[in-house]
Structure 1
């Protein structure tokens, strides 16, 4: 196979020596470093820009089709409209062009200062277009959670050193309050100061006729201005240059900002294309057939970045966007637009799996659903699959990645490359181009197969580090190139990876480690179906010896509520005792709650539940004095 990364054909996504999905057999081994059954990435030019990877120069655009659809407003952006607007805005954003915004040159890494555009918006039709305009203009941007408080926004603006801002009009009040907090001169937590220029705030408005909102120019006014600007042919630069910044989830401490290069981003997009191409070849169908995709995953998140920005024009996707999650709106949208693919996060999988509303709508168009961004408990993967065409024999797969490396592993189609199925409870096999090790987190020595250890990963999707935070970057890489994921895993005899827990969330009981997810899965698996969500964490045992009690917070099902908290608590404690070792028993008790707090991407906030419990104990102790 001759390879051309710019060729308008699915073969561009495969290495010339890519394994054949039928004839090639992956051979598990016992070496410390193991690799993806899909083989290596195809070669790409060292300075390739993400935008040029998605829209190869000198290639004609394919026939037009709806690219993004707003399911609520029923507005559409076609592929050709997207490309024209991205090119136009790039002419506005270029620091060495007409430059009406007076933007500076962006830094190539965190050794430099320069222009960084903040992106502060919910999912919107034009968010991906602005991102591609930035790629094309070589303007670095930073994605910021639209759920941020003014204080969190102020912190992230400083961590990312945001100098200019695209803000959705609904979030302007939050931005104004953040700016009132000052430059941060008296903040001992960080030496980074606020550098945002208020004159460089651009507004994403729902009213496309407005040129300004609250005194700030709108994206639409800049798009109109771009029509008068000439297109200047130039070689776009990318490769190891910084493309964008991610806001870390902030589940422990305030968020960090991590750097993603053009090479990182385009290879994250490429992994999905390799997977889809090889899976189609294995199934005996034409690779990369058109799809209609549900769009609820946040665009500022690494998962959403892959779905809505890094795959534009790599295959024909019509992405039907929901501004926020509403289960009945989502079901109506599936039926109305005949969606074929549902990218989800674990809380949404659970809702769809357990909701009787799914019986009211036709889900027959959905070829498959998948989950990502957080651990997916096994109990719901079959429940939702039963409601879809894939059926219970094809449980909902859950991909594994981090903001620091967006895509590392996922289940593979059973039989491809001779692979055994990766059943729920595993995170599957390494994705294309990835290598991994399992390492003792204390000794930093590789462990044998079948033993627990921290997953280390290497590949082109791995971040170069945290922006202007050398200490955090050094902690991330114990050895050059090897990312410490912070996740406890086990590699089995077939080179499948079994996720056990976050290392920082391991519960130490009398010197023994307890994986919270194992206990949570056991609670969810009670034969009477008493629990629909569960959170487990270690709480103070009151002895001051460093050991913890294992405590569970559960959300009851209708059956659980009918039996009552006391009865359910006793049954769950007995169930855990019958299934798990003594040190994993619920010595800290069981408490029924209305809901379990999670991040927008679905990560459970165990720390918040634990802290609430400790605060309550402290308050009760004071009240008795």
Structure 2
């Protein structure tokens, strides 16, 4: 039986701060910021009290739209200390996606930074909430988003209608500890404190509800599989809005007194500099990140001898990349994790002592406390080792459900508590799993899960498009790229650029189709179902791609 931690997030941090008070908790070398666990717990308490004074209550939904700034991690614990639900927003979102998330999640308070890459967050939010600029901070009344009352800016120049994060710190200083203690006394470890949006076969994103118990114990077991201790230092270049960042990164660290060393926005040079400067013992990343680090022209000049472990996950890990990470980055104990947001996210993981063959050819075996089985897609019967079927998981890590979507929840969690992942897998006699394909038509591009239906639903709003089918094609760098087969309405002329321009600024750049093909019909089954796999096969042939995305 695996060990289970029976804390809330707030109580966990109090416990770790008491156990390792002087250990580095959160380090941002470029900012000169270095919190010990004692100091980190204190600022989280201060922000929690400030949130209460601001009017945020237990159960309120608080969204954060930001890259890996220090305030992100502080809010992860501060919101949990008062039982508010932290809703994570993808940094690549544009206006349509932002409006959907804020509306569907019933967000009452939004924290945001000024911009990220090509997106001006303030301008985008003002497009979604035109009343904001003229509103009194904290008293927003939006016609389209009736729940949204407060917008808090993380940065120097506070835009009209918003409060500033610094004000929450000031409010927290003035608040009594008894106010926070009164709320903390009402919290339960099985209450929802985190919501992350993931799509599905039905197209629109669904809010995955995760509890204190889900994320603490998943993070703990992930850390155990990497043999984390209070002496480890984890470089975190993966985004916090994903479970990869906020659970496999933050929670795996905090449950072990490990030091977190985030990289604010991914840059291979910055990752290498951070590992060397802070003597990091572990680093996380999707395969494309590791490739960018390994292929950086200055790679050989960095001392990475402190490295030991970490996680390569997010999409299928190419064998050669894993081998190079072991050999050239000193990651002799690197692991791979398989999971999904609905499972907090880890289901299986390789272990540090596993052979390199197991680590490159499988996604490991069930995490402590998790059950895994492979079932026949047609009958649901459990299959013996070596047979391909759907991977199902059960245990402490399975989500509470999708927010306000009981029917969708029932489709993926059966009456016996098994989560149906939609992924095809084979398990060997020792419990090690290989992911062999997907039942769902999901595209994984550079670690980002892309659901064709979501893009299709958006493109259907184009007045010149009659029908559209979106699917993935192989790509050497990203694993997969997005392709769309479009039927144009009679009497209409469209170009590839017309379609891409229609997407720009409205859906995330990584979802915009790289390839667009105009067709008159789709390949169909006898019963009239469109055969996307045939569209994919045709595209691979026409584009001259191999199964690995290499030109042939």
* TM-score normalised by structure 1 residue count: 0.67
The CA deviation string for residues 96-142 of structure 1, in whole angstroms up to 9 with x for no partner, is xxx3x233441xxxxxxxx2111111111121111211111111121
The structural deviation recorded for 1:247 is 1.5
Q: What is the SS of the residue equivalent to 1:424?
A: helix
Task: Determine the C-alpha separation between the residues in 2 that align with 1:104 and 1:368.
Answer: 39
The structural deviation recorded for 1:464 is 1.5
Distance 1:547 1:249, change over 3 A: closer
Which residue of structure 1 aligns with residue 145 of structure 2?
194
Which residue of structure 2 aligns with residue 383 of structure 1?
324
1:62 aligned onto 2:42 = no
Residue from 200, 204, 210 that aligns with 1:254: 204
Which residue of structure 1 aligns with residue 465 of structure 2?
none
Task: Determine the C-alpha separation between the residues in 2 that align with 1:349 and 1:249.
Answer: 26
Which residue of structure 2 aligns with residue 623 of structure 1?
none
User: Which structure 2 residue ranges, 5 or more long, are not aligned?
Assistant: 116-120, 133-142, 444-473, 486-518
The structural deviation recorded for 1:314 is 2.9
Residue from 222, 225, 228 that aligns with 2:171: 225
Task: Determine the C-alpha separation between the residues in 1 that align with 2:82 and 2:206.
Answer: 25
Q: What is the SS of the residue equivalent to 2:541?
A: coil
Which residue of structure 2 aligns with residue 76 of structure 1?
34
1:399 aligned onto 2:337 = yes
Task: Determine the C-alpha separation between the residues in 1 that align with 2:390 and 2:144.
Answer: 35
1:448 aligned onto 2:392 = no
1:130 aligned onto 2:92 = no
Contact 2:67 2:264 in 1 (8 A): yes
Residue from 521, 544, 548 that aligns with 2:524: 544
Which residue of structure 1 aligns with residue 12 of structure 2?
53
Contact 1:269 1:306 in 2 (8 A): yes
Distance 1:60 1:69, change over 3 A: closer
Q: What is the SS of the residue equivalent to 1:375?
A: coil
* TM-score normalised by structure 2 residue count: 0.75
Task: Determine the C-alpha separation between the residues in 2 that align with 1:308 and 1:131.
Answer: 12
Task: Determine the C-alpha separation between the residues in 2 that align with 1:302 and 1:267.
Answer: 13
Task: Determine the C-alpha separation between the residues in 1 that align with 2:73 and 2:481.
Answer: 37
Which residue of structure 1 aligns with residue 94 of structure 2?
149
The structural deviation recorded for 1:329 is 2.1
The structural deviation recorded for 1:587 is 6.9
Q: What is the SS of the residue equivalent to 2:219?
A: helix
The CA deviation string for residues 193-252 of structure 1, in whole angstroms up to 9 with x for no partner, is 733334x111212x3xx7x54342212111122112111134251222111111215797
Deviates more, 1:66-75 or 1:218-227: 66-75
Deviates more, 1:168-177 or 1:123-132: 168-177
Distance 1:535 1:132, change over 3 A: closer
The CA deviation string for residues 61-82 of structure 1, in whole angstroms up to 9 with x for no partner, is 5342432222433333332221
Q: What is the SS of the residue equivalent to 1:69?
A: strand
Distance 1:498 1:307, change over 3 A: closer
Contact 2:99 2:128 in 1 (8 A): yes
Once the two structures are superposed, the pairs formed by residues 285-296 of structure 1 within 5 Å of their partners are: 288-296=229-237
Contact 1:449 1:491 in 2 (8 A): yes
Residue from 416, 421, 435 that aligns with 1:480: 416
Distance 1:591 1:357, change over 3 A: farther
1:40 aligned onto 2:20 = no
Residue from 398, 407, 422 that aligns with 1:471: 407
Q: What is the SS of the residue equivalent to 2:335?
A: coil
Once the two structures are superposed, the pairs formed by residues 296-315 of structure 1 within 5 Å of their partners are: 296-311=237-252, 313-315=254-256
User: Which structure 1 residue ranges, 5 or more long, are not aligned?
Assistant: 1-38, 107-114, 183-191, 280-286, 508-522, 525-530, 553-583, 597-625
The structural deviation recorded for 1:490 is 0.5
Which residue of structure 1 aligns with residue 222 of structure 2?
272
Distance 1:413 1:322, change over 3 A: closer
The structural deviation recorded for 1:268 is 1.4
Which residue of structure 2 aligns with residue 359 of structure 1?
300
Contact 1:344 1:370 in 2 (8 A): yes
1:492 aligned onto 2:428 = yes
Cα RMSD (Å) of the superposition?
A: 3.3
Which residue of structure 2 aligns with residue 282 of structure 1?
none
Q: What is the SS of the residue equivalent to 1:264?
A: helix
Contact 2:225 2:349 in 1 (8 A): no
